[in-house]
Amino acid sequence: VIDGEFVAAVRQGDAPAVARAITRVERGGQDARDLVRALFASGGRAHIVGVTGAPGTGKSTLVNVLAKDLTARGYRVAIIAVDPSSPFTGGALLGDRLRMQDLSGTGVFIRSMASRGELGGLAAAVADALVVLDAAGFDILLVETVGAGQGEVEIARQAHTTVVLEAPGMGDEIQAIKAGILEIADVLVVNKADRDGANATVAALEMNLSLNSVPQDWRPPVLKTVALTGEGVAELADTIGAHRTYLERNGRREEKEAARVNEQLRGLVQSALLEQAQADLAPGRWKAVVNAVRERKIDIYSAAEAILADSSGFQERVV
């Protein structure tokens, strides 16, 4: 049951209500779905900016100063810091909280979200949290993720503008290339530009851009920042604005959103069908099929066909 007063408070951007709403979508389940349903129509205006990069590149520090810059420009800003490995990084989260304290009084809404189970669940929770913040009237949503793997890429894909961070002197190789996140970058930032090797890192990124085919109408700019002092942050904010304009003028925003909806819808339908298929099976059947494959009595494709046949009421038994 959805409390109309609560939904209204979220829509008005009431911070405690927004925080409670995110807790609710984080928990998932029917409550989360009902809330998203109630809020969904009120959204669609926020610009979502993903900030991703290897651990320690300065994402939180940069997001902080970027939020300040954008707030000074009159935007209402919300931050989601995604920490996929929360049980082991309590320190990092605490660090984020401390850093983010200096945003108090600025009206910037900050929330850390951690994964309780698989990353796919986290991506869905983040998607729902973005719906909440969008409906709450925030203009710009900054999402910090550690760019370390496929799950994080999935989260980053939800952004309109993806900023990928590098820092000099983190090994010869560019971290983002390893993680495969360079391909999703709309803007590249070499943070910690106060350190030696920043220009070499810029050159390496530029080289990589030339080698890879990038969309001809938007070549990801490579910027330098010093998040600690705020140097280069205004240029980053300008560039994000330019990318937003580019997306809107070329129909790319719609394309990106359609791709995102497509992906989410596929994921939801897939898991619903799987759940349905499993629910339709006789007790113990799934396990029996798994064991039959393990014992090499049947192959994996025949196993899948057997499960599908059972769940669609087609009683041909392969096993």
Ligand X SMILES: Nc1nc2c(ncn2[C@@H]2O[C@H](COP(=O)(O)OP(=O)(O)OP(=O)(O)O)[C@@H](O)[C@H]2O)c(=O)[nH]1
Binding residues for Mg ion, rule: CB under 5 A, are 59-60
Q: Which of 18, 48, 129, 146 binds ligand X (CB under 6 A)?
A: 146
Total residues binding ligand X (CB under 6 A): 17
Q: Among the candidate windows 35-43, 50-58, 182-190, 300-308, which touches ligand X by CB under 6 A?
A: 50-58
Nearer to ligand X, 108 or 306 (CB): 108
Nearer to Mg ion, 51 or 307 (CB): 51
Is 228 among the residues that bind ligand X (CB under 6 A)? yes
* Overall residue count recorded for the chain in this entry: 319
* Dihedral sign of CA atoms 155, 157, 255, 223 in order: positive
Residue nearest ligand X (C-beta atom): 58
User: 65-124: which residues touch ligand X (CB under 6 A)?
Assistant: 92, 95
Is 57 among the residues that bind ligand X (CB under 6 A)? yes
Q: Among the candidate windows 1-9, 170-178, 190-198, 208-216, which touches ligand X by CB under 6 A?
A: 190-198
Nearer to ligand X, 11 or 59 (CB): 59
Q: Which of 44, 55, 90, 215 binds ligand X (CB under 6 A)?
A: 55
Is 60 among the residues that bind ligand X (CB under 6 A)? yes
Is 20 among the residues that bind ligand X (CB under 6 A)? no
